A and B are shown apart, each in its own frame.
Chain A
């Protein structure tokens, strides 16, 4: 089964999740051996998922904390 570059992008989510059936996965990976553009695209998609998982938490800003404490004051006493 020959896949187009467009089809590679459609299947990318399931490939990344390990949910492609064997035949589709083999066709997907076979396409990558001959298409540099898709290889780079897949690498960057995978890196996007990986790097976002390292995003630190949004800290509660000190001024927001002070305002929240003030608004909730009666519940703290």
Chain B
């Protein structure tokens, strides 16, 4: 995303500059393409309707992040309601993790490369998609988007300790999911 937009914001500029960013966050949070597209449409409409109120890129970027997260959460809630899954949702503190006494193989971690190979990206992307919703939301915002725990807590209406707990468990699950691949040698 550009640091500053000198020209006045128009719907075309908004689309070009922000649609990929909105889609990325929604796709990672929701775990599938079709839902991400719906959320991107919803957020773009919200931005375009408020174009007159934005005065700079920094302001719109911060606002967009929050609006996209809220739209993704609302979308997921609507989907759960439609499917009558409100009570079927994974309990927020429950996530199966390999027990501490399981034997651990050393990962094949080679010299650090600045860019991931396509195969690695696919494996990691799939592991994120497979996280249960409440864990994936926290995980994406923290470890993919790099937001501070306090900001995530604020966005998701959680306490900071709850964010840390979910993030830790999500990382443990991600480690378990990636282990067969890194033990086997796709590591960079």
Contact = CB atoms under 8 A, between A and B. Distances in A.
B11 A51 contact: no
A13 B164 contact: yes
Interface in B7-46: 11-12, 15, 19-21, 23-24, 27-28, 33, 36-37, 40-41, 44-45
B15 A64 contact: no
Interface of B: 11-12, 15, 19-21, 23-24, 27-28, 33, 36-37, 40-41, 44-45, 48, 100-101, 103-107, 109, 114-116, 120-121, 124-125, 128, 143-144, 146, 164, 167-168, 171-172, 174-175, 178-179, 182, 187-188
Contacts of A12: 168
Contact of B121 (A40, A55, A68, A71): A55
Number of chain A interface residues as a range: 35 or more
Given A44-B179, A65-B19, A75 B45 contact: yes
Interface of A: 4-6, 8-9, 12-13, 37-38, 40-41, 43-45, 47-49, 51-61, 64-65, 67-69, 71-72, 75-76
A58 B104 contact: no
